[in-house]
Structure 1
Amino acid sequence: MIVDPGQDVAEGLDDMLREHRLKPVAVLLTHGHIDHVWSVAPVCGAKDVPAWIHPEDRELLTDPGKGLSLLARQQLFGGLKFTEPDDVRELSDGAVLEIAGMSVTVDHAPGHTRGSVTFRLPEERVMFSGDLLFAGSIGRSDLPGGDYPTILRSLGAKCLTLPDDTMVLPGHGPQTTIGRERATNPYLAEAAPFAGPTRGL
């Protein structure tokens, strides 16, 4: 599985695949921001593999500027064209993908973007958090499609419910664990653990 192929990954990816004798079978996208999807079309096309993305972020594959401020859009994309890979498949909350002999659970976790997701390998206790959760921080919520109360709800429902020894592989920065973030991340103090539906009056 290739997760979030950003800019200039193709050459290094080929070297790594050759070195470890790996054959990619899917590209998984945690969200549609340009730094996570820049190389998705060339990587999928060259490897003949599908790209998986949540439908709320799918439009960012062809128009990544929609996920940025107007000024950033004008500075970065003057004349650049982006295309979808030939095979795009849509993710849904709670879906379990069987990929390369592993079961990958999809958790819709909006707040950074409307279509942000995380990918969990429950048996291995690993989470690819994208830009939802970082070591000591969380993803920004001030870009189009972002929302601070929503990202806090996602953190409570999708992160704080996991075991402390779950390894977190963020979209940026060093790896961490849920336990470390629960104990030290100031943003998680604002994110109440998800208790599920309540009954009563």
Structure 2
Amino acid sequence: MLIETLVADAFGTNCYVLSAGPGSECVVVDPGIGIAPRLEDLLAERGLKPVAVVLTHGHLDHTFSVSPVCGASDIPAYIHTADRHLLEDPAKGFSANMMSLVGTGLEWTEPDDVQALADGGVIDLAGMRFTVDHAPGHTAGSAMFHTADDEGLYTVTGDVLFRGAIGRTDLPGGSDAAMQHTLRDKVLPLDDATIVLPGHGPSTTIAAERARNPYLKRAAQLDH
């Protein structure tokens, strides 16, 4: 699997381009603020053709460029059903202070084709198979996407899990209790060899996070 990463200038959000290799179809994950021009250049350079945009959750720093990216290639956007409303009005997912960081006068249009996903759903895109894992806590509709190839296991975690940290739970739709259950029931059971592609910061592995991430250590102490 070819994994290209573009980091948005605002909020340092990771936008991933996943494909079987140069000159093939691809999937764009979380196109954030100001990412569209660099994404267009990357796609042209690698000869990649997007077939879908996959969103880990509905926060604006992950969805800002979804409509122009989808519109440019006439492709659908996929998001968990519980965050679907954030593509209608992204302000519902941010506090007033956070929205002020994005800027005033935002002209927002949602993509023409939005596919709402459910927990456990499977989508086949660009020769890759993604399993949807509902992982609430950061937002009500946060989701992880699991995929694999001959060389390994990969999980796109969005703002569920970072290297050494997790996503905040104090924004609208967030829940610390839900996040703790997500970490215990959805993250900790993952294979140690799984490569984690987070929404912010460098990649990591489940083994590394199991060993050093204090939030996973806390979640492991939860009673079932």
Range class of TM-score, shorter chain: over 0.9
| Residues 3 and 27 in structure 1, CA contact (< 8 A), matched pair in contact too | yes
Q: Does 1:26 align with 2:52?
A: yes
Residue 62 of structure 1 aligns with an amino acid whose one-letter code is E
User: Once superposed, what is the RMSD of the aligned Cα atoms?
Assistant: 1.8
Measured after TM superposition, the shift of residue 193 of structure 1 is 8.2
Instruction: Identify which of 175, 183, 197 aligns with 1:169.
Output: 197
Question: Matches of 1:74 and 1:59 in 2, distance apart?
Answer: 20
Aligned 8 A contact 1:56 1:115 in 2: yes
* Residue of structure 1 in register with 2:139 after alignment: 113
**% identical equivalent positions:** 55
- What amino acid does structure 1 have at the position aligned with 2:199? G
The amino acid of 2:90's aligned partner reads P
1:68·1:144 contact (CA, 8 Å) conserved in 2? yes
Change beyond 3 A, Cα 1:75–1:6? closer
In structure 1, C-alpha distance between the alignment counterparts of 2:101 and 2:52, rounded to whole Å: 31
Q: Which aligned pairs between 1:58-73 and structure 2 lie closer than 5 A? A: 58-73=84-99
The alignment status of 1:14 with 2:40, answered yes or no, reads yes
Q: Is the 8 A contact 1:27 1:50 kept in 2?
A: yes
1:73 CA displacement: 3.1
Question: Scaled by the length of structure 2, what TM-score is found?
Answer: 0.83
What is the CA-CA distance between 1:157 and the residue it aligns to? 1.5
Q: Which residue of 1 aligns with 2:178?
A: 150
What is the CA distance between 1:75 and its match in structure 2? 5.8
* Count of residues in correspondence between the two structures: 196
Q: Partners of 2:221 and 2:162 in 1: how far apart?
A: 17
State how far apart, in whole Å, the 2-side matches of 1:133 and 1:50 are.
26
1:34-64: CA deviation from partner (whole Å, max 9, x where unpaired): 1000000010000111000112111211321
Look up the equivalent residue of 2:141 and give its one-letter code: G
Look up the SS of the partner of 1:73 in the other structure: helix
Matching of residues 180-199 of structure 1 within 5 Å: 180-192=208-220
In structure 2, what is the equivalent of residue 199 of structure 1?
none
For residue 14 of structure 1, what is the amino acid of its counterpart? E
CA–CA distance in 2 between the matches of 1:72 and 1:15?
29
Moved more, 15-24 or 58-67: 58-67
Q: What amino acid is the match of 1:54?
A: H
| Structure 2 residues not aligned, in runs of 5+ | 1-26
Higher mean alpha-carbon deviation, 154-163 vs 132-141, is at 154-163
Q: Please, what TM-score do these two structures have when normalized by structure 1?
A: 0.92
**Residue 124 (structure 2) aligns with:** 98
Q: What is the Cα deviation at residue 81 of structure 1? A: 2.4
Relative to structure 1, is the Cα distance of residues 180 and 74 closer, same or farther in structure 2, using a 3 angstrom cutoff? closer
SS at match of 2:49: coil
